[in-house]
Chain A
Amino acid sequence: MRLRWLSFIIILLPWTTLSAQSLFEEATANKDKEKLYELNGYIRGTLFAGNVPNISETEIKSGYGEASLKLKVRKMNFGDGFAEIRYRTGCEFGESISELDLREAYVNAYIGPFDFRIGHQIVAWGRADGTNPTDNITPKNMIARSPNEDDRRNANFLIRSYFNLHPLRLEAIWVPFFKSSVIPTNLLDFPSDVTFIEMDYPEARLENSAFAVRLNLELPSFDGSLSYFKGYNPFPIIDFSISGENGMNVSPVAYRMQVLGADFSTTAGPLGLRGEIAYRKPYQNDMISDYIPNRELHYVIGLDKAFSMDFNIILQYVGKYVFDYVDLEMPSSPGNWVLYMFDLKNRMVASQQYEISHSLSMRAEWRLFHEALKFEVLGMVNITSEESLLRPKLTYDIADALNFTLGAELYSGPDDTLFGTIDSHLGAVFTELKISF
C-alpha cells in the first residue's frame, strides 16, 4: 500500500518541480518577480430608487458607498491565493448599514493534473444564461441590490478539486457546512402578527454536508457536462411553528435533495447553441416541514447570435415539469388555512405553482462608440404564471476603469405570484459610479 502511494507521489513530482515561468506566465502573473502579490479593487457609489409599496410615491431604496480590496498572492506555478474584502456603508431597506464582508478567501494548489481550491468561494455551474438548474452549490442573496448580477452570489466554505485529463475534466466538491440563500421571506405578505425568526441551520456533521461531482467534456466544437449534487438545497423553504396562544413563528428551513444535471454549448454556423437540464429529487421522508417541494425537471435551451455593429443576443426557452403535481384547493375548514397559506407561499418560492410552466428569456447586448457605451437588456417572461422581469442597463466608460451605470430592475406579475408580490419592494431604478484600480 505504501509503495502504491510512493509511486503516486513520484508520478506527480515532475509536474510539481516545473517552476520556470514563461514570458506569458510572467506577464499574466506579475512582471515584477520580487513582488509576489497584487492588490486590486474598486470604489463605487450606488443608488436604488423605487415606489413605496402600495403608495404611489418614490423612495430611496438603497444608497451606499462601497470599497473593495482584492488581494492575489502567487507561488510560481504551484498555486495562488485570493481574498476580497468589501466594506459598505449607507442605507438599505430603510436602515443604516455599515458592513464588512469577506466576499471570498481561498487558496489554489496545482499539482500535476490535479487542481485544488479550498476556502470561502463561489461556484457557478451551468452553460445556460441566467437560469441554471444545475447551479446548486453557491447560495444566492435574492434581495441584494447591486447593478452587478454576480453580487447576488454568496460564497460558502468548500473544497473543490479537479482531475484534468483533457478533454475530460472531473470536478468534485465537498460543502462541509450548510449556508442558506437569502430569500425575501418578510416580503411575502404574511399576516402582520407572525414573527420572522432566524433559520435553524443543519448541524455541521458529515451526513449534513453536501457533495457534488461534475464530468466536463471539452472538445473544440462541443462543451458539455454531467453533474450530480446531493445535500441540503441552499435555497430553503418556509416553515412555521405556533408560539404561545395565537402567535406564529416563520422561518426558512433547509431540505435535502439530489440533483442530476447536464449541460452543453456548441456552435452551428453563425449560431451558438446552449442547453441545460436538471432532475431534482427532494427527500420527501425527512419530515422537516409540512411542505417539501415535489420532484421536478427543469430545462433550458437557447440560441446565441452575434451581429455586426457589436450586437449580441441570447434567446432562451425555460421549462419546468413538476412530478406528482396536485392542485392546491381552498381549505373547507378554517383550521387548515395556515397550512394552505404556507403551501401557497412555498409553491411560489419554489416555482412549483404549475405542473408545467413555460418561460422565455432574452439578453441583448449592444456595444457602441468603440465599446465605450454598453447597453444590455435582460428580459424574462413566464408565460404560464404571467410574471415578468425587465433589467435594462446602460454602462458608459468615462475613462479606462471609470464607469457610470444607469439601469432598472422591474418585476411584474399577478398578486399571487412571486414577482407580483415583490415588485414594489425590489423593483427600482439604479445608478452607479465606479472606479477600479
Chain B
Amino acid sequence: MIKVKTLAVVLTGLLAFSALDAQENLSAKQIVERSFKATKLAGSEAISTLTIIDKKGRERVRKIAVVTKLYDNETTEKRLIRFLSPPDVKGTGLLSFDYEKKDDDMWLFMPALRKTRRIISSEKAKNFMGSEFSYADMTPPVLDDFTYEILGEQEVEDTLCWEIELIPVDDDIADENGFSRRIAYIAKKDFVIRKAVYYDLDGELQKELEIKEIKEVDTINHKYRPVHMIMVNKQNGRKSILKVDEIQFSPNVKDEYFTTRYLERY
C-alpha cells in the first residue's frame, strides 16, 4: 500500500515537473495563444462600470451589460453590449461576432435611429465609449497579425510573469490596432495578463494597462476574467477604470441574444 502511495507521489511529481518543463518551453506566440484561451469563456454575462477621468479629475461614468458565447468550435465569440447609462445613450446596443481569422461583423442599434445598422469593424484603434480602452483592447486580436518575442520575466504585483513583446506584422495592422509595439506581462501560473504597455505609431510610450483583480469565472475549466482594469494614458494624463460589478459563467446563454431581433429589444 505504501509502495502504491509512493508511486503516486512520484508520478504526480513527474507530471508536475514535465508540465512545468513544457511551460518553460513554450514560444512567445504559444504563451499569448494560451493567454487568449485562459480568458475564453463558453458563455458569460456581466455588468460593468466604466469610469473615465480626465487630467483635471473630472469623471464620466458609463454602465454596460455584456453577454458573450463561443461558437464554431470556440473560434467565434458572439457578444452583445447594451449601454445602461448615461441616459442619453441608454438602450444603445452593439452586437459583434468576433472571428479568429477575419474581420468581425458588427451591428449597432441606436434607439434614436430606430434601426439596426451594420458597421465596419476594421478600425479597432478607436476609443471604446470615449475611454482610454480601445476596441482592440476589448477583443482578442488575430494571432497571425503580430510577431512575438519573450523579453524576459518580471514580477507584477507578486506574480511572476513572462514579458512578451507584440509587434504588428505591417503598418496596416499597426494602424488598425493603434499601436506599434505592445509589451504584455502574462502570469506564469494562470496565463492571464497582469499588465500591458502600449507604444504609439511613432514608437512613443502611450498607455499602460494594469489588471488589479482577476476572477476565476469558470472554475471547472479554469477560465478567468479581469474584473478590475485601469488604463492610464501617459501622453494626455487621462485614466479609465473598467470595473466588472457582476459576472456570471453562463455557458447556456440563449442564442437569441445574438440576433438583431434582440438587439432592437431595449
Contacts and interface: CB of A to CB of B under 8 A. Distances in A.
Interface of A: 22-24, 27-28, 40, 42, 108, 110, 115, 122-127, 148, 150, 153, 162, 164, 166, 169, 218, 220-221, 223, 265-267, 269-272, 274, 304-308, 310, 367, 370-372, 399-401, 403, 434, 436-437
Given A124-B113, A124-B114, A308-B175, A218 B259 contact: yes
Given A28-B266, A400-B86, A150 B114 contact: yes
B213 interface: no
B254 A370 contact: no
Contact of B82 (A28, A220, A267, A270): A28
A63 B80 CA distance: 40
B92 to A, nearest CB: 11
Interface residues of B, number: 52
Contact of B105 (A267, A304, A310): A267
A318 to B, nearest CB: 18
A308 B123 contact: yes
Contacts of B127: 310, 370-371
Interface stretch (B27-35, B60-68, B158-166, B187-195): B60-68
Contact of B123 (A122, A265, A274, A306): A306
Given A124-B114, A267-B103, A403 B88 contact: yes
A437 B89 CA distance: 10
A8 to B, nearest CB: 21
Contacts of B87: 40, 42, 401, 436-437
A106 to B, nearest CB: 13
Contacts of B42: none
A208 B62 CA distance: 48
B118 A307 contact: no
9 contacts: A22-B45, A22-B248, A110-B265, A153-B114, A166-B259, A265-B118, A306-B119, A370-B131, A401-B86
B250 interface: yes
A72 to B, nearest CB: 9
Contacts of B84: 27-28
B88 A27 contact: no
B259 A220 contact: no
B112 A148 contact: yes
B120 A304 contact: yes
Contact of A27 (B62, B65, B105): B65
Nearest to B123: A306
A153 B175 CA distance: 40
A146 to B, nearest CB: 12
A124 B115 contact: yes
Contacts of B45: 22-24, 27
9 closest cross-chain pairs (CB), A and B: A371-B130, A27-B65, A400-B86, A436-B88, A23-B45, A124-B114, A24-B67, A370-B130, A401-B86
Contacts of B56: none
B171 interface: no
B226 to A, nearest CB: 18
Contacts of A123: 114
B125 interface: yes
In this complex, the member of A148, A223, A403 whose beta carbon has the largest number of chain B beta carbons within 10 angstroms is: A223
Contacts of B103: 267, 269
A370 B261 contact: no
A220 B117 CA distance: 13
B52 interface: yes
B95 to A, nearest CB: 10
A308 B126 contact: yes
Nearest to A167: B259
B130 to A, nearest CB: 3
B259 A306 contact: no
Contacts of A274: 118
Contacts of B80: 24
A23 B64 CA distance: 12
Contacts of A403: 88
B153 interface: no
Contacts of A169: 260-261
Given A22-B254, A150-B113, A272-B119, A400 B61 contact: yes
In this complex, the member of B45, B118, B125, B130 whose beta carbon has the largest number of chain A beta carbons within 10 angstroms is: B118
A166 B257 CA distance: 12
A372 to B, nearest CB: 7
Nearest to A218: B260
B261 A122 contact: no
A125 B90 CA distance: 22
B168 interface: no
